[in-house]
Amino acid sequence: MEYKTTLTTCPYCGCGCNFYLETVDGRIVGTTPAQEAPVNHGRLCVKGWNVHEFVQSPKRLKSPLLRKDGRLVEVSWDEALEFTARRLQEIKEQDGPDAIAFFASAKLTNEENYLLQKMARAAVGTHNIDHCARL
């Protein structure tokens, strides 16, 4: 049996707390807060303490879903992205860019959130962009 700990950053929000993911034989089994981390000083909120549970959950989505004939079905990333690009273009042509809104996530990095707002403003032409942290 091989026990390991790996220092990493919580993906749940922008605070950036650090913890050690505990693994046994390559399977994630627990979370231990990092005492030395300057952000959280050995503390975690309830989401951080339980972060290891979602990684291996059988309920986790692993591919895009598209609604077809009223049912969600798994599709390839190419099909999902082609569908999304085509629909955004159709909506923009029919109703204008402000008929489209983008919703960012606290789980993205600053760089990814920057790129999302850049795509909204420069590529689509809308300032309709918000963030889940405002909910």
Q: Is 17 in the site for ligand SF4 (CB under 6 A)?
A: yes
Q: How many CB atoms lie within 10 A of CB 36?
A: 8
7 is an interface residue for ligand SF4 by CB under 6 A: no
Of the candidate spans 9-17, 20-28, 54-62, 115-123, the one that interacts with ligand SF4 by CB under 6 A turns out to be: 9-17
CB of 72 to ligand SF4, least distance (A): 28
Closest CA to 84 of 62, 70, 60, 102: 102
Cβ atoms 52, 22 nearer than 8 A: yes
Cβ proximity to ligand SF4: between 122 and 135 the closer is 135
- Count how many residues are written for the chain: 135
Positions in 37-76 near ligand SF4 (CB under 6 A): 40, 44-45, 47-48
* Binding of ligand SF4 by 31 (CB under 6 A): no
Contact residues: ligand SF4, CB under 6 A: 10, 12-13, 15-17, 40, 44-45, 47-48
